Structures are given as C-alpha cells and as structure tokens.
Structure 1
C-alpha cells in the first residue's frame, strides 16, 4: 500500500489531495456442517478454501477557501477504482442421509469483481450575526460488476458421476444526491440547533444466468428520504442537559423490469427522540441518556436476485425487510482514570440470517436469506481503567453483553440468553532512545449473539514498535496483528425450525506490517465538509 497526501496553501486558498494504491492477497478456510431434520436426517459437511487478490486505486482533490475566521466554503472530489479483484473458492461437500454417505461434490468457483465510484461534496460553513450555518451538498455514483463461474462435479454413492457448469453475471448501478442544512444560535442561555436533510437514491441490480438454473433479475429501488431535526442544550450550574427530536420520512419504490411492485414498495414515517443529562456528584461525573436509533437494511439485503454458492447452497435477499429500531438507555460514570457504562437496549426488527428449502422435492438444497426478528431485550456493562504508571500506560477494559432471545430449532424452542464477555488489556511503553512499544491482548468468551451461539472462546495478541526520527518528520512502525494466529471462531446458527448451520472459521489474519511515513511542512486541512446522506451511502 502506498499513499501520498499533500496540501498547498496561499492566502485563504487551500488545494489538497490524496493518491492511494494497493495490491492485496489473502485467504480463508472454513468448515460448515448443515443439519436438516425432515422425515430423514440430512447432513452436509463442507470445507471451503478461498484465496483472493485485488488491486485498488483511490484519489482525492479538494479546493477550500477561508473567507474569515468564521466562514469557509469548498468542494471535494473522490474517486475509487478496483480494476482487478479475483478469487477462487473451492468447496468440497459430503452429503449424508441418516448417517450414510449419499454423494460427494467438488465445487470450484472463480469470481471476478470490478467496481468504481465517484463522489462530490460541496460545503459552506459560516456565521451571520448570531446564526451559524452548516450546508453540505453531495453526489455519489458507483458501478460494480461481478462474474462467477462454477464448475461442479458430483460422485454418487453408487459410483456414478455427473457435472454442471453455472455462470452468473451481476451488474449494480447506484446514484445518490443529498443535501443537509444545520442552523444554530445561542438562545435563553443555551444553544439551539435545527435543520433538515434530503436524500434521493436510485439503485439498479441486474442478475443474469445463461444456463437458466436461477431466475434472471432486473430490479430497481428508488428512495426519497426527508428529515427534520431540532436540538437544544443548556447548562444549569454544574448540570448539562440536552433534548432533541428527529423526524424521518422514507418513501421506497421497488421495480421489477421497470414495473412498480406494490407489496415491496413501502413508506416509513418515524420520530427519534434524544435526551441526556450530565451532572457531577462529588468528584464523579455522571451522564444519563436515552435515544432511539434506526438501521435500514442495505440495498444488497433488499435484492431479489439469486446467487449460487454451490450445488447445495443458494443465497438471496429479502425485499420485504423492515428497518431495525433500537431504544437505548445508558448510564455512564467517570472518576479520574476510571469509566463505567451500563445500559439497556430494546431491539425491534433485527435482521437475521435464515434458511429454507429451495426445492421441496430436494432436501439437500438450502436457500439462505434474511428475515426480521421478533423484538428482544439486551443489557450491557463496560468498565475501563486507564492509569498512567511512569513510562507505562496500561488500559484494562471489561465488557459484558447479555440478550434475551428465543428461537425455534429442530429440537423445539431455545432461549439464547447466555452472556458474552470481552477482556481487553492494552499497554503502551515509552522506551529509551525514543522507541514506543504497544502490546495489546483481547479475549472473547463463548456466548450468544442474535440467533447464533459462539461455542468456544477466542483470544488474540497484537504488538507494535515505532520510532520517530528527524524531529518527527520520519516515523517507522512495525506491527504484528494476531501474532499467534489464535483468533478463530466456532459458531452455530439456528437458521430455521428444521435446519442448523455450524461454522468453524480459520481466517488468515496473522499479519506483519511495516509502515514508513515521511512528512514535511505538514499542516492540517482546513476543509470542513462533513457530507450529506451518509447513512444512505453506507447502505450501498
């Protein structure tokens, strides 16, 4: 990976930019056991090895003008291209019927990806009398294409063989226009902010399978989203209070071959309140906060097109998904280098991985999809200690998460309420001769998350050594991530009332990285554009 950042400044003008290029390789191995309980017990044992390589290029150019200490405007252009991204996923699957081997399949899948996006942001940030103005205008256009070529060979229990060849071509085009305006001013001893945001998105997904094994798809999602928000904060002595309200209206139209599908076209109208109060008691600072969040499904999750993983596994989205809503209540406390946070979440319409039979006459073929979950509750606790002891700056962090989640399994109703904990121990040491050493440790326990269960704990160790030279112009850093290649997860998902999926993943995430950074005449960018429509961009 190579990256160059630059900035040229004269009078009130700034011209800045970035160039980035990378070439990456990686691989991952995975074992999956899928059990299907019908009149007979079907079991599929699969091992998958996937290696990939990609080339990426990013560029940025921005012009900024500072009018005075209170006002500035600018425009920024970002470009990204992945001209080359190839992967070969080889899967070997053994299928058992009531414990007896039924067939074996070798499924090499060659996948070729390419993508490109353009993004423009223009902003004005200024002040007129008591009013502060923050305006952002954004445009975003991206295109991606994917080709997959699957060449399968199956050996049946009687010794006979058969084979098939499957090719799938997928093209996606995204367009986004967004605007956001925030106005704020002092009012009644506090600060009042209000504004609005508008986003238009258009996404087209074309999926073609010349062999006719899965259906072709030509679908489009067009959305208009408008939001208005107001927030007021004020300090009463040592007490800081904040109250806010956001209203969102989202109109989504779903088209198949340019014909609107009413069932999959939806309108949403929602209010999101925010309340918080911060206050000290003796030398301890407390904060109590409530807010509601929304997470809309990604456009990929809303697709109706089908992907073929191998002979036994098909994958699709769900255009009927509803957004996920979360009510959050949090209490935090801070005393010197000790921080404590506890909270409660009420989650509605969480998005789960689910399965069903693709063909009622063939129980070996599974269709992976998505569905909204019933509402459930979660609690969490987080304690962080960050003292400084001479040249040693340790940080200990203890996290605990617990959910109350019921799921239907082939064995009946199951309560997935075992807690999960995480222990993080980070260390920073200032060594002689200007060296800095980081040694970080993380441990994650087994436990439950949504409709899944981690069956074994996992841990990892990261280390880094760095030194700055030439009056901090030159920095050399050596990192080792997951040093012992120990972070491997063993996970079972309860994906339907007749199927379970057990996955053991061994990613190649033991990494050694050397970074050399040289900077001269360095200055911070004065560009203040923050973008509009960010949540919609992330969905793309």
Structure 2
C-alpha cells in the first residue's frame, strides 16, 4: 500500500509541473454541459493526431501542452465538430446540434432517444415525450434496460443500481417522486461502473437536470391521491431562490401509506422426521413520514464552487399487524394448528444527513471533495399471541434497538496526462452500528452487539482517445477492517480484515453507424449490517432468524458488450460470481422441529449470462419502447440430500407506449412481464407482471398539470416462488394491493432546479444500513 501511495504522489508531482495546457468546458446552446465528448489536439500542418482526452460528466476537459503548432478539435455525436486555433485558458466552447445527423439516424428526423456516450447509455428526456411522463419515477420505468419491481428499480442483469441526481447520491427513492420529468435533461445508465465508484456498485443511473436560467424565487407543488382498498397520500413543496452566484434551495415532503399483503406458504423440513407447515397469512402496513432538506450552492467564480445540504426526516408512525394460521404435520400425521396475531410497532429517531462539497479548478487540475455525516436509528416492539390447538399457547414480547452513525470523505484529483485524462482519488468511511435485541420470555437469547467498520479506498483511472476508439483503465484498492462486539466484548473470530484490488478496463468505438463498447470490471457485494448481526429473532416456535457475522463478501467478474444502432440498443454480459450470499435454512434439531433462517456463502463460482435488446423509435405521435431480456445462471445446490440444478433462464419483456394527442392530452400504456425461471436458489414458479394506463392534461402553458392513472389494472402483480436450501424447502405466493387509481396535480411557478454539485461520500455503506 505504501508503495502505491508513493507512486501516486510522484505521478501527482509530475502533473503539477506540466505547463502550457488548456482547460475549459463544453456546453450546448441551452447552457447544458456536454459530457464524454472527444477533445483532441491535431498537427496544424497535416491534421495528424497528437493527443486526446474526453470531457467529464460536467463537460470539463483539460489537455496539453497546446502550442502554436497545434489546433484543438472537439466532436460529439449529435453535435457539429468545432476546430479552434490557439486560445486562452480556461475556455467555454458552445456546440451546436447537428441537424443533418439527427434526421439521418431516426425514423422521423428527431434525435435518437438513446445513444452511447462515454461509459453510459444516455436517454434524452428534455424536449421529448418523456419530459411529460410525470415524475422521475415515471421516467425511469420507460428507460431501456431499467425495470421497476415492487418499490425498487433494477438494471437488467446487474441488479439494483445507485441513483444520482446531478452527481448527488439518492438514499431515499421518494426523491424521484419529488423531481418532475420536465426538469430532467437526460438519464444515463452505466452497466459496468469504473474505479471512481465503490466496488459494490454493479450499475449506476445518473439523472442530469435541465439548467435553469435567471434569478428569483420559484416553487413547485405536487399533490397525489391513490385509491386501492386503502388510501395513500403524497404532498410536497419545493422552493428555490437564486441571485447572482448564490443558489438556496429546499423541500418538504409528506406521505401517508397504507397497504396489505396476503400470502400463503408451504414449508418442508427433513431430518429424522419430516415436518410440513401449511400457512395462510395476511398483513397490513401503516406509515406516515415527513422529511425536508435545505441547502445552498455558491459559485465563487468559473473555477470554484462550494455548498452544503442538510436533510432531516422523521417517520411519524409505522405499524405492521399480521395474522396467520398454520397446520403442521409430522411424518404425514396431524401435529398442531396454531393461530398467531402479531404486530410490530416502530419508533424512529429523527434522521440527520449532512453533505458539504468543494469543487475547484487549479490550472489543469480539478479538485473535487465531499464530506458526509449520517445518523439514524429505530426501535421496534413486537407482540406475538400464539394460540395452539394441541400444546401450550404463548405470548412473546421482543424489542429491537438499532442506531447508525457514519462519517465519510472523498477526494478526487483530475488532470491531463500523455494526451489523455488521469484521475486519482481516495475515499474513507467509518461506520458505527449498535444492534440490541431483547426477548423478555427468553424463548431466544437477548443480545447486545456493536459493529465498527473502517473502509479506506484509493483509486486511479486513465482515459485516452484515439482516432480509432477510446480506452479507459482503472484500478481501485479497498482496505476494510470489520470489528464485531458482543455484550461489549470484541469477538476475534467474527472480526476480519479484507484487502482487495478491483480493476476495470473498457474500449469503445464506432463501426459505421454502430456505437460499441466492451468492458470488464471486478466487483464485490458486501453483506448488509443486518445480515452480519448475530441477533436471533423470533418468527414462531418452529422458526428463528438471525444474521451471519462470518459472511464473506461476494466477488464478481463481469464482461459486457454493448451496442447502439439508430433506435436499437443491445447488451450482452457474462459474469463469474464467487461466494454468492444466499438465503438459507438450517436445521437446529435433528428431528427438524426447529429451523434457523440465515444467509450463507456459496463456495463454488457461479457463471451467469444476460442479454438485453430494446427498440425505442418514434413514429408520428406514437413513442413506443420495447425491451426484451434474458438471464441464465448455472447453479447446482444441495437439496434434501440430492443435487438440485437451477439453470432455468429468466425472461422479461416490457412494452411502454406514449401517444401525444390533440389539445395537449397525453395517453400512456405501459406493460411488463417476467417469466418463470431461476435466480440464486429461488425459482419463480409462474409469470408475473402488470399493465398501467395514464392520461395527462396540462394547463396554463404547462404550469399546471393533472394526471389520472390506473396501476396494475388487471391485478396480475402476484409472485409465486420456491426456495431450495439443504434440508429446508419453502413455497410462497404473495398478493399485494397494487391495483389502484391515482390522481396527481402539479403546479410550478418559475421553478428553478438547484445547482447543487455535491456527490456524497460513503454511499455504499449508507445503503447497507
């Protein structure tokens, strides 16, 4: 590690003394940054290639040395190329859209909805039909390769992504509902993130907003009403004040949610006896939540900006009542019937989150610094009332107390090197978590645990453009020190240290009108803090649940090929996964009368292949988007003393449609379906999906909009799956109240989007909480 740091310092000193470079920024005619554009120096006499680089996410670039013998050429798909002789530094270059190219590559002469740009698939939203979709939540459901499952998004074949808005990491998906679709410039999907991102990040979704001009005060109001068997409400107000270089912003958000879930389960455990549980259950969920944020951004000059954002939230009320009835048979003979009425009551501490950032340009070097602090906690009290037909009835009371604190910092230095762009940085995160569990009847032992984790990372990446393509190389080193304490004592055998290197490499080029990229990354998946807890939770008298402090991080090697041609996009991925974390059931007693549900690492490497194809043309007033995906794993596990192969491919298909109708009406019809198939040690037994329909009308020059929506109109969003694990088998069928009618009203006045540029630090550790 010391040698690596020494090498980075020497490289850094070399960059500092480099002179005569030129830096600047690229923007379009609306003032929006142009990221990942090619910036090259050519020989003035014969236009031969000298060196090249690419602009970063904010359109900034630096290249040099730039002499009188050189000319500067800037090019980007969709824009006219620009050639400049010697110019002062820093320089702002305004690029114009290439109208001829736009009409050439799309059915009706508009800019293609999705194209490849740098390391991302970029979908344009501004001035497209997507800008009227409603919220950012609605936009993401229409992006190729992104699907929404229940209350979370997934990038096909990669899993749950990190989502950023203007470089700031989202920790609460409700923020997507607070961002209107007409405020979004584009959505970028990165399927193989580089070394700048934590090694746990397998996919990234970046949302860039439209740059608002002018000073003054603006606000944006939104009210939504959802009616299923229950009633849900969302109320929000955003404000923004801008004067000269000062930008002050904030928001208040309130939601009230009620939902229910009916599910049936069949369990089988095989030991010296065979136990069968046939369970029927229904549960409800009530929640009220209020949060808000306030912050500022100050642009000192063209080269320096800083800001701060504070977010606070409070869950006002949360309850989860549940009732279930279970018939138990042992060796095919009736054993018992047990009825359970339970309720979980949650009391949340106020959430506090603070982010501060500074971004500065010093000659050729760009410095980006972020610091974060996070604190949250909750207490839960559970009451189980079990009524048994053949044995004793019992009441079970338990309490769980969790408190989290996190401090993180991240520093990145970027500057030109050898005709390309080089970046080096470090990220350090310290996490402290207390997790206490008490059961007054002592059916399970009470425990008091503490976790302390230090994650120190260093990373470097280099990008270089050539006439025949663009290369990107990166390496990330992570040192993780994990300390586990039980009842105030350090547990040596459950405390560990990990040191890993995670390389990445990608090459992108254009073959005729086809944009292609081939990339390789090494990633990891760390267990959540709850999965690492040694607390034992009471589920019922036959089933307990706990974490596993001995879990090892999963290591993933991924190779992905992506391509874009006109309105078609394709992605092919092959990966090898080692130490996959699987949910698992273990027998506590030999006769299988008691089972412990936990997690385990699968020791063998598991190969997986994923393919995705999407088409998003525009035909008159109709904007369809068709996406088809397939993923297949090769996994064989031990199940009931035999081998169980789970290699059935899983297919998905989405068909989203939008029609722009006369008089300002917009009609939407979206559908999604997933086939039966296997993922990890779970097999989905039946297809599931949904159909949504919406109608939108705007008034007052789009200042006021009203949307009517029907979600899951055929009530098909139901899931049936089996889980196979050793001597334990589970089948579950779940039904939710997803079929609902919704009305949303939005009103905006001089709404200006915040210019906040903080990207956050310690993001992966925050999500593990």
SS of corresponding position for 2:761 = coil
Query: What is the rounded CA distance, in whole Å, between the counterparts of 1:357 and 1:89 in structure 2?
Result: 25
Name the residue aligned to 1:121: 355
Aligned runs of 1:90-169 on 2, under 5 Å? 90-115=323-348, 116-156=350-390, 161-169=391-399
Name the residue aligned to 1:522: 751
Matched, 1:2 2:231: no
Name the residue aligned to 1:76: 309
Query: What is the rounded CA distance, in whole Å, between the counterparts of 1:367 and 1:256 in structure 2?
Result: 20
SS of corresponding position for 2:647 = coil
Name the residue aligned to 2:218: none
Residue from 397, 406, 418 that aligns with 1:176: 406
Query: What is the rounded CA distance, in whole Å, between the counterparts of 1:19 and 1:281 in structure 2?
Result: 49
SS of corresponding position for 1:408 = strand
**Cα–Cα, structure 1 residues 431 and 411, in superposed 2: closer, same or farther, change >3 Å?**
farther
Mapped contact 2:272–2:590 kept (Cα < 8 A): no
Residue from 501, 504, 511 that aligns with 2:730: 501
Residue from 466, 470, 492 that aligns with 2:696: 466
Q: How many residues align?
A: 534
Matched, 1:438 2:671: no
Matched, 1:35 2:268: yes
Name the residue aligned to 2:611: 381
Aligned runs of 1:213-292 on 2, under 5 Å? 213-292=443-522
Query: What is the rounded CA distance, in whole Å, between the counterparts of 2:522 and 2:688 in structure 1?
Result: 32
Matched, 1:61 2:276: no
Query: What is the rounded CA distance, in whole Å, between the counterparts of 1:114 and 1:236 in structure 2?
Result: 57
Give 1 or 2: higher helix fraction. 2
Name the residue aligned to 2:716: 486
Matched, 1:371 2:371: no
Residue from 407, 418, 423 that aligns with 1:193: 423
Query: What is the rounded CA distance, in whole Å, between the counterparts of 2:393 and 2:675 in structure 1?
Result: 43
Q: Deviations over 1:461-502 (max 9, x none)?
A: 112211221112112222222121102111010022x22111
SS of corresponding position for 1:433 = helix
Q: Deviations over 1:344-399 (max 9, x none)?
A: 011111111111123446x3322111101132000011001111111111111110
* CA positional deviation for 1:35: 0.8
List structure 1 segments (4+ residues) > 6 angstroms apart after TM superposition. Answer: none
Residue from 425, 448, 452 that aligns with 2:682: 452
Name the residue aligned to 1:16: 249
Query: What is the rounded CA distance, in whole Å, between the counterparts of 1:483 and 1:238 in structure 2?
Result: 50
SS of corresponding position for 1:483 = coil
Structure ranking higher on relative contact order (CA contacts 8 Å, 6+ apart): 2
Query: What is the rounded CA distance, in whole Å, between the counterparts of 1:286 and 1:63 in structure 2?
Result: 40
SS of corresponding position for 1:215 = coil
**Cα–Cα, structure 1 residues 433 and 411, in superposed 2: closer, same or farther, change >3 Å?**
farther
Query: What is the rounded CA distance, in whole Å, between the counterparts of 1:415 and 1:528 in structure 2?
Result: 48
Matched, 1:425 2:655: yes
* CA positional deviation for 1:452: 1.3
Q: Deviations over 1:222-276 (max 9, x none)?
A: 0111000001111101411100000000001000122110111010001111100
Q: Deviations over 1:311-351 (max 9, x none)?
A: 22211111111111111100111100011111101111111
The worse-fitting range, judged by mean Cα deviation, of 198-207 and 509-518 is 509-518
* CA positional deviation for 1:83: 2.2
SS of corresponding position for 1:263 = helix
Query: What is the rounded CA distance, in whole Å, between the counterparts of 2:546 and 2:707 in structure 1?
Result: 43
The worse-fitting range, judged by mean Cα deviation, of 465-474 and 412-421 is 465-474
Query: What is the rounded CA distance, in whole Å, between the counterparts of 1:37 and 1:256 in structure 2?
Result: 32
Mapped contact 2:248–2:754 kept (Cα < 8 A): no
Name the residue aligned to 1:539: 768
The worse-fitting range, judged by mean Cα deviation, of 311-320 and 134-143 is 311-320
* CA positional deviation for 1:411: 5.6
Q: Deviations over 1:410-445 (max 9, x none)?
A: 161011111010011111111111111111111111
Q: Deviations over 1:478-532 (max 9, x none)?
A: 2222121102111010022x22111111122223221111110111211101100
Name the residue aligned to 2:320: 87
SS of corresponding position for 1:162 = coil
Mapped contact 2:671–2:691 kept (Cα < 8 A): yes
Name the residue aligned to 1:317: 547
Name the residue aligned to 2:160: none
Query: What is the rounded CA distance, in whole Å, between the counterparts of 1:224 and 1:39 in structure 2?
Result: 45
Mapped contact 2:609–2:631 kept (Cα < 8 A): yes
Matched, 1:339 2:573: no
Unaligned runs of 5+ in 1: none
Query: What is the rounded CA distance, in whole Å, between the counterparts of 2:672 and 2:271 in structure 1?
Result: 41
The worse-fitting range, judged by mean Cα deviation, of 174-183 and 402-411 is 402-411
Unaligned runs of 5+ in 2: 1-233
Query: What is the rounded CA distance, in whole Å, between the counterparts of 1:357 and 1:340 in structure 2?
Result: 45
Name the residue aligned to 1:25: 258
| RMSD of Structure 2 on Structure 1 (CA) | 1.2
SS of corresponding position for 2:749 = coil
Mapped contact 2:271–2:590 kept (Cα < 8 A): no
Query: What is the rounded CA distance, in whole Å, between the counterparts of 2:740 and 2:637 in structure 1?
Result: 37
* CA positional deviation for 1:188: 2.0
SS of corresponding position for 2:309 = strand
Give 1 or 2: higher strand fraction. 1
Q: TM-score, normalised by structure 2?
A: 0.68
Query: What is the rounded CA distance, in whole Å, between the counterparts of 1:294 and 1:133 in structure 2?
Result: 27
